[in-house]
Structure 1
Amino acid sequence: MSKPALYQKISKVMGEVRYLSKDDNIAFKETKYKAISEEKVTSTVRESLLRHGLIILPVKQDHKRDGTLTTVDTEYKIVDIETGEYEILASSGTGADTQDKGVGKAMTYAYKYLLLRTFAIPTGEDPDKISSAELDAKQAAEREKEEAERRKREEYLNSITVPSVIAAKYTTFYGKPDGMKDWYAKCLDKSMDDAAIETWLTEKLVKKNGGK
């Protein structure tokens, strides 16, 4: 289906936003480089979109997480508000985060590059190799931290002796001793003493046996 009005307006935006210089300085250990912020890209392109009666709407998003990396695959619809003509635009992005901000970071990256690529906006030198080095360094540091925490936890669990009464009741309630030390450690982490832990298990066993 021909969409001349939409494509003409996209062309006009491309003509107006010819170049965007980097406005952000990134530093990570020995790695330093300049980048362009999502705020600058979005605010600059937005002004041109408004002038020409174009809007961009999110219509689909899928994401997956692998360790500290979250990748999103997105689809946006660019619409000419005067004619109703539209086109579907696809983009992807990856964000690194150890908590719950990975999706947001990935979507920010995906949207920024959606605008840069859709309207063919040059930004100068390519920082991808440098930013990849930064990401590799961050991932290595995070893996080292996680491994150190794992070893520390393992040493802690090995130092723990579960009282025989608690061990017996745990095995009776759960049907097997698997995971007992880890469970016991978590109880201690919650400031429960042996008496409180034994009482909790006793109550669970009573309920399991129908109150007997």
Structure 2
Amino acid sequence: MSDKNVYQRLAEVRKSISYLKKEKSGNQFQYVGSSDVLGALHSAINDAGLLLIPSITNHKLNERVELIGSEENQKERATYFTELEMNMRWQNIDDKNDFVDSAWYAQGVDIAGEKGVGKALTYGEKYFLLKFFNIATDKDDPDSFQRKQESIQPPKLIDGKQLAALKDEARKVAELAGAELSIIQNKLAEAAKVPSLDQLPVNLFSSAMAQLIKWKQSYEKNSQESKSAEQKQNDINWGNAQ
């Protein structure tokens, strides 16, 4: 790993995880916990030889006082809103001069007053990791998420070699059927429900080839039966029929 630069190492970490399920529950929503994010990435970051070094470059503390309780027993309560401007540095542990800096923002809300910075740091670190590595979060389990992604991605199409094999087999069918090659190709594309053979998904290649072989065998059988009938007629004409 020592020969890789910081960008290559970050790319390796990014490959390690693409999805996290929302396991934690709040008052009105579900969310991914900070420990879930760190736990999922910790080993990959270590294996890549990286350090994440957060630093606070600026901060702001806003205080809001509100009245709570009944009219007879009202009390003042202060809410502290902490805002942090941060720098998140990815450091290559094998080269002190190889690093990446990213400006980041975090916020934390606290009533007691002493936890605002800690909440902001935790919030900031979690969402920085999620967004930096483009990690999706959802209520679904990871397998369900993967199936969703596969369903919306365009299917992989057959390659040139597979297309040539289909056309070669279609040519044999066309010769047996006494038809134009384009007719057989269009008929096969229609059966596979694709605009043309070059748009055939790779997972349908085997079934398309099987269809061509079935057509070829059918035409070969018809041809043999036709020749047999013709030979029998010739035998009758020449008085050779048994």
Provide TM-score, normalisation by structure 2.
0.46
The alpha-carbon deviation at position 83 of structure 1 amounts to 3.2
Correspondence for 1:203: none
Q: Any gaps of 5 or more consecutive residues in structure 2?
A: 64-79, 140-242
Supply the distance in 2 between the matched residues of 1:96 and 1:60 (Cα, whole angstroms). Answer: 17
In the alignment, which of 118, 125, 128 is matched to residue 104 of structure 1?
118
User: Mapping of 1:142-153 within 5 angstroms?
Assistant: none
Q: Which amino acid aligns with 1:91?
A: W
What is the DSSP-based 3-state SS (H/G/I as helix, E as strand, rest coil) of the residue aligned with 1:83?
Answer: coil
User: Mapping of 1:164-175 within 5 angstroms?
Assistant: none
Is the contact between residue 49 and residue 94 of structure 2 (CA under 8 Å) also seen in structure 1?
Answer: yes
Supply the distance in 1 between the matched residues of 2:130 and 2:49 (Cα, whole angstroms). Answer: 19
Give the length in aligned residue pairs. 119
Supply the distance in 1 between the matched residues of 2:137 and 2:57 (Cα, whole angstroms). Answer: 26
Is 1:42 the equivalent of 2:38? Answer: yes
Q: Which 4+ runs in 1 deviate beyond 6 A? A: none
Correspondence for 2:47: 51
User: Mapping of 1:1-212 within 5 angstroms?
Assistant: 5-27=5-27, 32-67=28-63, 68-84=80-96, 85-98=98-111, 99-124=113-138
Whichever of the two has the greater Rg, that structure is: 2
Supply the distance in 2 between the matched residues of 1:34 and 1:106 (Cα, whole angstroms). Answer: 19
The alpha-carbon deviation at position 117 of structure 1 amounts to 1.3
Q: 1:61 to 1:42 in 2, by over 3 A?
A: farther
Is the contact between residue 88 and residue 101 of structure 2 (CA under 8 Å) also seen in structure 1?
Answer: yes
Supply the distance in 1 between the matched residues of 2:13 and 2:44 (Cα, whole angstroms). Answer: 6
Q: Aligned-residue CA RMSD in angstroms?
A: 1.9
Is the contact between residue 91 and residue 113 of structure 1 (CA under 8 Å) also seen in structure 2?
Answer: no
Supply the distance in 1 between the matched residues of 2:11 and 2:61 (Cα, whole angstroms). Answer: 36
Q: Any gaps of 5 or more consecutive residues in structure 1?
A: 126-212
What is the DSSP-based 3-state SS (H/G/I as helix, E as strand, rest coil) of the residue aligned with 1:20?
Answer: strand
What is the DSSP-based 3-state SS (H/G/I as helix, E as strand, rest coil) of the residue aligned with 2:15?
Answer: helix
Is the contact between residue 63 and residue 103 of structure 1 (CA under 8 Å) also seen in structure 2?
Answer: no
Correspondence for 1:171: none
Is the contact between residue 56 and residue 84 of structure 2 (CA under 8 Å) also seen in structure 1?
Answer: no
Is the contact between residue 108 and residue 116 of structure 2 (CA under 8 Å) also seen in structure 1?
Answer: yes
The alpha-carbon deviation at position 116 of structure 1 amounts to 0.9
Q: Percent identity?
A: 27
Deviations 1:102-147 (A, max 9, x none): 111111111111111111111127xxxxxxxxxxxxxxxxxxxxxx
Provide TM-score, normalisation by structure 1.
0.52
